[in-house]
């Protein structure tokens, strides 16, 4: 590890001294090429005496790549909101939130009250202004005029300026104050998907409060060699707040048949499932979108990914993965976004639950015959289930 680090810093700064292929294969150069490198760098260290380096056939990427047979929605099916400014996008019935469901009463977060009251005051002041919300066709073909709004069978506003006060069009994030850009408790305590504005929307990326994941990682990370035989791990180099976005799990997005082929070709020791994540949040046999009917696409981060590829499993994690959707036509290739589920200290290792607390694991672990085929968990937490799968 030390030799590789020295070679990079002494030779890769001058282009003429090093062949281009060598620089392309250098993990330090790959990380340095990220747009976020200067402000939020990713570093690699090995302070153990095992001499290990990252796999030479691994490549760092800053966005997922679509494999053969995988494509985004065609341009004519892509849609976005026409919110004219952050306030209208925040308080009007933003179409990016059309599929957001009302939070359960028992999941109501008292922390929302002050902000929602501010939303109500803003709506009451602006509801008669024609710039409040754009005219648009509703699902039944009728049209809503700016500032009018409508209600569902429960009398709750479903669009127009008062929609946000009924919990129907609320962003997943706090939009002001000390908690700005933090995921709301009602989301952290659930597995609900996050719907964001995106590049097809009229709102500005730098200002819209609903583009947290799209704006990318804002956390410096360090990939380090663990001292307890768990391989590589990742720690944060800055304090993280509960609800803060960390990064996305990246990789090559592949078809289910290709994922099965790769599973079959990998050895048991490799356990390909460690790196494969199914994009199954919206899988539905009754969906009108045929891309969501069958087996889902999967993200393979074994040989190309971001720093999150090296985050270890824990049965008592400090991160959780959420499905993040930009354009609704691209649900089949939604993002896998990692958020802090409680405050995390600077230098603390980041972890998430690879199987998201599946009860089947604990049940199988009680069967001695099944244990022979299962992978033991090394997380060491007090809540350890004993096995990964």
Q: What is the pLDDT of residues 233-248, one digit of tens each?
A: 999 999 999 999 999 9
Report the alpha-carbon distance of residue 326 to residue 309 in Å, rounded: 22
Higher pLDDT, 357 or 338: 338
Report the alpha-carbon distance of residue 60 to residue 43 in Å, rounded: 12
Report the alpha-carbon distance of residue 355 to residue 28 in Å, rounded: 31
- pTM (predicted TM-score): 0.80
What is the reported pLDDT for 151? 41
**Of these residues, 187, 195, 275, 354, which one is catalytic?**
354
Report the alpha-carbon distance of residue 192 to residue 358 in Å, rounded: 17
Per the annotation, the verdict on 354 as an active-site residue is: yes
pLDDT surpasses 70 at 369: no
Please answer whether residues 181 and 173 qualify as being in contact, where contact means their C-beta atoms are separated by less than 8 angstroms: yes
Per the annotation, the verdict on 10 as an active-site residue is: no
Q: pLDDT for 284-300, tens place per residue?
A: 999 999 999 999 999 99
Q: In angstroms, what CA-CA distances link 154 with 19, 168, 227?
A: 67, 12, 57
Average pLDDT, the chain: 79
Average pLDDT of the segment spanning 54-78: 94
Q: Which of 57, 375, 58 is nearest to 230 (CA)?
A: 375
**Of these residues, 173, 187, 195, 249, which one is catalytic?**
249
Beta pairing class for 252-254 and 276-278: unpaired
Q: pLDDT category, 162, cuts 50, 70, 90? A: very low
What is the reported pLDDT for 101? 73
pLDDT surpasses 80 at 155: no
Give me the residue spans of the domains in the chain: 79-189
Please answer whether residues 315 and 351 qualify as being in contact, where contact means their C-beta atoms are separated by less than 8 angstroms: no
pLDDT surpasses 70 at 258: yes
* Cα of 245 vs its chain's centroid, Å: 8
């Amino acid at each position: 590890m030390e030799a590789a680090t020295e070679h990079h810093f002494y030779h890769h700064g001058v282009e003429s001294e090093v062949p281009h292929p060598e620089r392309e294969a250098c993990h330090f150069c790959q990380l340095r090429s990220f747009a976020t490198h200067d402000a939020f760098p990713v570093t690699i260290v090995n302070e153990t005496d095992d001499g290990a380096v990252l796999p030479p056939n691994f490549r760092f990427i800053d966005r997922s790549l679509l494999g053969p047979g995988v494509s985004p929605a065609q341009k004519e099916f892509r849609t976005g909101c026409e919110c004219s400014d952050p306030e209208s996008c925040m308080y009007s019935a933003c179409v990016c939130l059309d599929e957001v469901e009302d939070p359960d009463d028992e999941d109501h977060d008292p922390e929302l009250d002050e902000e929602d009251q501010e939303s109500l005051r803003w709506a009451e002041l602006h509801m008669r202004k024609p710039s409040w919300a754009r005219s648009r066709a509703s699902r039944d073909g009728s049209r809503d005029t700016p500032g009018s709004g409508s209600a569902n069978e429960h009398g709750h506003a479903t669009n127009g300026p008062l929609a946000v006060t009924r919990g129907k069009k609320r962003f997943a994030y706090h939009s002001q104050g000390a908690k700005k850009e933090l995921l709301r408790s009602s989301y952290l305590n659930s597995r609900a998907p996050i719907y964001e504005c995106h590049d097809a929307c009229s709102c500005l990326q730098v200002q819209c409060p609903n583009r947290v994941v799209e704006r990318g990682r804002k956390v410096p990370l360090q990939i380090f060699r663990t001292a307890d035989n768990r391989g590589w791990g990742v720690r944060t180099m800055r304090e993280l707040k509960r609800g803060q976005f960390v990064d996305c799990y990246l990789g090559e997005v592949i078809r289910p048949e290709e994922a099965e082929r790769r599973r079959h070709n990998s050895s048991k020791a490799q356990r390909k499932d460690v790196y494969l994540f199914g994009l199954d949040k919206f899988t539905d046999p009754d969906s009108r979108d045929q891309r969501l009917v069958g087996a889902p696409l999967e993200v393979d981060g074994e040989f190309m990914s971001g720093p999150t590829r090296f985050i270890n499993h824990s049965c008592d994690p400090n991160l959780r993965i959420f499905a993040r959707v930009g354009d609704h036509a691209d649900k089949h290739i939604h993002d896998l976004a990692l958020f802090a589920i409680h405050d995390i200290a600077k230098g603390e290792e980041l972890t998430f639950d690879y199987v998201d607390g599946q009860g089947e694991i604990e049940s199988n672990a009680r069967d001695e015959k099944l244990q022979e085929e299962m992978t033991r968990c090394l997380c060491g937490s007090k809540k350890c289930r004993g096995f990964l799968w």
